[in-house]
Structure 1
Amino acid sequence: MKIAVIIPAAGIGKRFNEGADGGDGAVNKLEMPLAGKPVFLRAIELFQHHHDVHQVILAVNPQSIGEFKLKWGDKLGFMGVKIVAGGEKERWETVQKALEVVDNVCTHVAVHDAARPLASGEMIERVFTACERHDAVIPGVAVNATLKKVEDAGDEVGGADDVIADAILGGAGKVAVHVQKVVETVDRRDVIEVQTPQVVAMGLMQKAYALIREGKIDMSVVTDDASLVEALGEDVYVVEGEATNLKITRAADAEIAEALLEKREASQRVELAKKRLFDDEED
């Protein structure tokens, strides 16, 4: 196999920056340092030395690609990473832009979230190995939490119940809480949480995106490349993912990821020290 790895990094991180003013308070989560390296770079490094990876493409925000290349272009060029402009709005548009520069010799495309910097080599190997026999493979983990289907129940207002205080304060003493009503409990036995990298055979990927351009796929139901393959009526296969392969979506996720990385790298340093010690004793 010759795999082209596409890393979409064109998002603006709305949920990560919830509460920020959009100015100095806003943070580009993908360039944020994580245990000493930017998040997107850690995602790229997951694939750098894999023998099946032929090409790595990073698709970034088209509005800031010039600034991004000025800052990171030399380093990524040295690593053999190709930088392209992603889409303006949707993730699939970003993947489509990256597909345009995939080498003709590539047999498969792997799409991996730039915000997932913790995927292990073992898990990536499981996905790649399964792709030798199946045209579409994704990692997934079992859902452990109870799942509820809900419907909107409006807003409830509480606080400052005193009539006099209410008259003086108006709405200032009130707290509005959005409420949803449980409709049913979802059976989680056959439900998984999907992760990346998601790998699709090149021919199947090209067919899917050709149909998108022709307007023959309802993109409102497509949330990832696996659901795109499903929309074609093709099978998607799942291998075991990892609980630690988390996606940095909110600020708290970055704190967890940093702690996991520091622990992982500390363990690697201990193992390296042991190896050197035993090598010295043999000498």
Structure 2
Amino acid sequence: MKYYAIIVAGGSGSRMQSAIPKQFLELNGLPIIMHTIKAFYQWPLVPKIIVVMHPDYHKFWKKLCADYKFTVPHKLIEGGKTRFESVKKGLSMIEDDGLVAIHDAVRPIISTDLLINTFKMAEELGNAIPVIKCRDSIRKLQDGISIGLDREQYFLVQTPQCFQVKLINEAYKQEYKAEFTDDASVVEAMGVKINLTEGDSKNIKITFPEDLRYAESLLK
């Protein structure tokens, strides 16, 4: 079985109040994205790692790799204008077999168990999406009125989202739609059942300054 990991690194630093995209911010001595790449590389079944990044930051990334002596093997390619386009470009770099995990660059804390479980389920069932249960009560605002919802019926979706390569390649032949919020939604649009696996509460997406501080504490 061939394994691949596409790491999408197209985020900006707007909500982090940063001058550089958040994936390049330092976390415990390394840029966030380097932690993310290392997590996949340290997995026993090392996947071929593809990093999809806006071309404006390729030179900057290469300098970071030199400055931090970062030598984990990976292929750097240009991203598109949207996440959909970026993932599609990443998929074009891999052969039409095996399993692929598509992951956010700013989720640097990935456990080996999470990787094993998602890849294993994707191998057996075609796809695997890690989710965690909602801990808080949920309300929906509709026409100015808040409505209480049953939190047991709702889950928070994470990455890596894993797929059989042939399945995800077929899904990305579709035209882009606004409702494609992640890779699972692209596959689901073909009428394919999405399989949920247990995620990890530590697998946070670093979006705001407080997320960075929390991630630092988790890594320590």
Query: Do both share a fold (TM > 0.5)?
Result: yes
- Tell me if 1:6 matches 2:37: no
Partner-residue secondary structure (3-state), 1:111? strand
Quote the residue 1:200 is aligned against. 163
List structure 1 runs of 4+ shifted beyond 4 angstroms: 73-76
Q: Deviations over 1:47-68 (max 9, x none)?
A: 1033434310111122222332
What is the aligned counterpart of 1:252 among 207, 210, 218? 210
Alpha-carbon deviation of 1:110?
0.5
Query: For residues 66-145 of structure 1, what are the structure 2 equivalents within 5 Å?
Result: 66-72=59-65, 78-88=71-81, 90-102=82-94, 104=95, 106-145=97-136
- 2:13–2:19 contact (8 Å) kept in structure 1: no
Structure 1 gaps, min length 5:
18-24, 153-180, 213-217, 263-283
Q: Deviations over 1:180-200 (max 9, x none)?
A: x43311221121101111001
- 1:62–1:87 contact (8 Å) kept in structure 2: no
Partner-residue secondary structure (3-state), 2:169? helix
- 1:2–1:105 contact (8 Å) kept in structure 2: no
- Tell me if 1:29 matches 2:4: no
Q: Deviations over 1:239-280 (max 9, x none)?
A: 111111111011110000001111xxxxxxxxxxxxxxxxxx
Larger radius of gyration: 1
Alpha-carbon deviation of 1:73?
6.7
- 2:36–2:105 contact (8 Å) kept in structure 1: yes
Alpha-carbon deviation of 1:145?
1.1
Call closer, same or farther: CA 1:228–1:195 in 2, change over 3 Å. same
Structure 2 gaps, min length 5:
none
Query: For residues 119-198 of structure 1, what are the structure 2 equivalents within 5 Å?
Result: 119-151=110-142, 181-198=144-161
Structure 1 length as normaliser, TM-score? 0.72
Partner-residue secondary structure (3-state), 2:5? strand
Alpha-carbon deviation of 1:151?
4.5
Backbone CA RMSD of aligned residues: 1.9
- 1:11–1:61 contact (8 Å) kept in structure 2: no
Partner-residue secondary structure (3-state), 2:201? coil
Structure 2 length as normaliser, TM-score? 0.92
Task: State the number of aligned residues.
Answer: 219
